[in-house]
Each structure stands twice: as C-alpha cells, then as structure tokens.
Amino acid sequence: MTNTPNILLIQADQMGAHALPCYGNQVVQTPNIEALTEDGVVFENAYCNNPICAPSRFSMMSGQYTSKINAFDNAAEFSSDIPTFAHYLRSGGYQTYLSGKMHFVGADQLHGYEERLTTDIYPGDYGWTPDWKNPDDRVDWWYHNMDSVIEAGPCERTNQIDFDDEVEFHGVRKIYDIARSDDDRPFFLTISFSNPHDPYACPKEHWDRYNHDSIDMPNAGYIPDKKMDPHSRRLRHAYQQHPTAVTKEQIRNARHAYYGQISYIDDKIGNIRKALYDTGFDRNTLIVFTSDHGDMLGEKGLWYKMSFFEESVRVPLIINAPGAFSGGRVSTPVSLVDLLPTFLDITCSKYLNNTADSLDGESLVPLLKGEFDPLERTVISEFFAEGSIAPCFMIRQGNYKYIYSKPDPPQLYDLVKDPGELQNLASLPEYEKIEKNLKERVFAHQDTEALHQVVLKSQSRRRLVFKANMEGRRTSWDHLPTRDASSQYMRNHLNLNEVESRARIKSKG
C-alpha cells in the first residue's frame, strides 16, 4: 500500500461491538464484516466519545472531544470553522465524498466533503434540543419510546431501509464513477448507514436467516430502579421503560430484528467490497469499519444508547489494509477521536504535526503495526443529552471505568473482573486511590461547573432560534442533493461511442 492510499470509511449506526462475531457474539451472521478481520486489525476496546449520534460523529470527524466543540446533543450545531478529517485530506490532495448519514446540524451540510451524494435521514435544525431545566418533559414527536421494541419484527420496507438502499446505491456507484473519471487524486469516501438503529425492523429475508429460538436474551435482565444508578432511571423514564413495558417475547423479537438489521448491513458491505474489487481499488484502499455508538438491547432493562455501559459506548473498529499492518487484535483502549490523526499519519500528511486545532486523539498506526505503544492511553467519553441533568463523563483507563456526574453517585467498574458492570466499586475503601485518580482526571479534563452553564445557555439559545424559524416561511438547512442530468447517459452533444467506451469497466478474469 502506497503513502497515498484510498480510504473508505464505512459507518453503521447504533451497532454495538458486543453484537458482532469478531467480538464474541455467537449468534449474529456477518461474513463480510468477518472477512475484514482476516487481514485487518480488530480493536477490542474501542469507544465512541459521546454515546449519541451527532456528537459522536462530530468528535470523530474533528478529532476533538464534544465538550471542546460544543457538540452537546443531536441538535447541536457543528461549527463550520472546525476542521474535519475531510478538510485535512481534501487539502492534502484527496477527493472527498459522503454517501449517507452524518447528522450535521446547521447550514453547513458538507464539512469538508466535496460532494454529498444523499440527503440525511435526520433533520439538520435545532428541533431536537433537550431542556435540562425541564428534565421530566417528554417530546413524543421525536424522542425514543418503547414502540420500537413492542412492534419489533420482520417487514418489507421501513424508512431506514429506503434510506440505506439509497446510501448503498450511490456509494457503490461513486466507486465506479471514480474509476471511470480522469481525476487521478486518491479518494476518501464515507458510506454511512442508518441501520441497525431502532426501530427494530428488518427485511424478512434477513429475519429468516435466524432461528428465533436461538436468539440470545440479555445477560442481565431488568434490574429494579432502586438498584440502578440515577442516570439509568432517568433514561427509563425518558423512553417509558418499566418492568411491565415489554414481554420476554418482545425483547427476543427486538434482538432478532436487530441481528437481522446487522446482516442487512453486512450484505451491503459485501457489495461495496465487490465494487472495490471490480475497479481494482481493493489493492490500494484502506477500509475502516465502525459505528457511532452501540445499543443496550435490553441489558439491565435499558435500551438504545445514551449510557456509559459497555453495550452502549463500546463500538466496533476494524481497519483493513491487506499486507500493510500486522496488529491482528489490539486490546489497548482507543476511541473514535483517534481516527483523524491516524488518517494523517497513514497518508504522511503535512498536517500530521501541524493541525489547526490541538487534537484529543492519537494515531493508531503504532498499534496497527503491532509495535509497542508508549502511550498510557486514556479514553474519555461525554454525555449532555436526554436523560442527563448535568455534564456526564466516563474515563476508561487500564481495566477500570469511572463515571462521573455531579448530581449522581460516582460509578467505578473493573471491566476485567466484572465485564457485566454489575458491581459498583466506588466508595469502597480498597479502591479509594483508583477512584481519586480517575476523578482528578475528570476535573483536569473539564471545569464541570462552568461547562454546565455553557450547556444551559446553548440549549436556551437554540430552542428560541428553532421556535422562531418554524414561524412563517421556513428555510430548510437539510442537504438537498441535486443531479445534473444534462451530461448523463447519452445526449446529442456527446459522441455515443465515446460515452459507451468511457462508461465501461471490464470484468476481471
């Protein structure tokens, strides 16, 4: 692989690492994702930096923590002056394209991509702004509830299937179009799907791949509120989960459909890789597969994301570059902010040691090469959205995970001895030093009191702006892709023989 490889970033939505065979799942069928691991590197302990869609993606693209860039929730604007990996790569000579979801909020719907091939599945305005001043209020026209679980099952079409079919089509077609073009720049292509995000509904074809009775149930069933942490209790209230909200069969249906949705995405990954092979790009394309966050999927009686428990915050991260790396499996904790410096390192970018902002991530290249990594890597994840009433922080360092939010009791887990995170070690005398060190790490990371006020002011401003913008004439910020068909296919200002010759990509073999 040369110093200027093509880069293909494939991102799923709400796909937890725990749901994939390469991370130990014995039920889910993902042969195409598994194929990426055969000559790729699997990061066993990769985390998102905020367990909700938009903030996770903004931090990933900028290489900065969400508190630094004010990416507080799914209605937080991603400021146009923040450089992303698309900006850096484009400035370094790459052509940059996005097919699918990135949940940009604000008038800028490109953030460094030259071309966006589809619209987004979610709105780009401030309508989904939380309100910490009224934490008990529900907004039923857009927020999660238990219908996704209760109504789970096979289907013919859904909103997300319509979207992801379009994402795949335009992503694959762009690979072929690049191969037929005269643009000799390497490409950076992001293909970002909406599945397996809830609602839990998959095509019947993918539902039928699984024996319903073989679908595994949560390891830790419903834990009563009185034994759960306050944040988890608030999440349950937010999406109306309580002991009688769903039956065991509905839980199994939801997990069955979720697994089917993963297989649906896996099929699309196979089609994307076929396009790389057909065009010869497979020989010099780095493939990165990840997700923006996971899904609790009924563990402890919790659903969706928004939690710092492993099922919600731990994501798959597989980097495939045949013959380039020897890391195999890496247990060192890493996170999505590491992707930007990794891309700069892999491409020998002039910006590697000269980024416009101070990055919070570190290059993964030493780990990819199987080298000794001198860094004592610490993962930080943050949360400021629904279910929280103050800034929330998670520190993963070594075997330990520490969770802090001022209104709530702290949580400390030993992920080696207690992978299910069922025994809170905080406040136990024998763990006092560990807890003290991790708490100090939180306060060194952010002034939590000052940040709380910043979040409140941001929410207030955005709620006012949204209310005003919905009155009278409404101008959408959503990306509206346009197609210039004047030179597509055959037109009378073109030579038919030249059109056919340029468009043809010959079969291999």
Residues 6+ apart with CB under 8 A from 171: 99, 100, 117, 189, 191, 272
> CA geometry: angle at 77 spanning 75 and 79, to 5°?
165
Q: How far apart are CA 503 and CA 509, in angstroms?
A: 19
Strand order from edge to edge, sheet including 115-116? 115-116, 95-100, 187-192, 6-12, 285-291, 317-320, 40-43, 329-330
**Residue 214: what residue type?**
S
Three-class SS state of 34: helix
CB neighbours (10 Å) of residue 415? 17
**Residue 116: what residue type?**
R
β-pairing verdict for 329-330 and 187-192: unpaired
Q: How far apart are CA 386 and CA 54, in angstroms?
A: 13
Q: What tokens does 238 get?
A: 């937010």
Residue 254 near residue 149 (C-beta atoms within 8 A): yes
Indicate which residue of 22, 53, 202, 392 is catalytic: 53
Catalytic, 53? Answer: yes
Indicate which residue of 103, 170, 256, 293 is catalytic: 103
Residues 6+ apart with CB under 8 A from 45: 314, 331, 332, 333, 334, 379, 396
**Three-class secondary structure assignment of 164-224:** HHHHHHHHHHHHHHHHHCCCCCCEEEEEECCCCCCCCEEEHHHHCCCCHHHCCCCCCCCCC
Q: How far is CA 186 from CA 62, 102, 276, 434, in A?
A: 21, 22, 13, 47
Torsions phi, psi for 63 (to 5 deg) = 70, 20
Residues 6+ apart with CB under 8 A from 133: 456, 459
**Three-class secondary structure assignment of 242-307:** CCCCCCHHHHHHHHHHHHHHHHHHHHHHHHHHHHHHHHCHHHHEEEEEEECCCCCCCHHHCCCCCC
Residue 30 near residue 210 (C-beta atoms within 8 A): no
Residue 378 near residue 397 (C-beta atoms within 8 A): yes
As annotated, the active-site residues are 53, 103
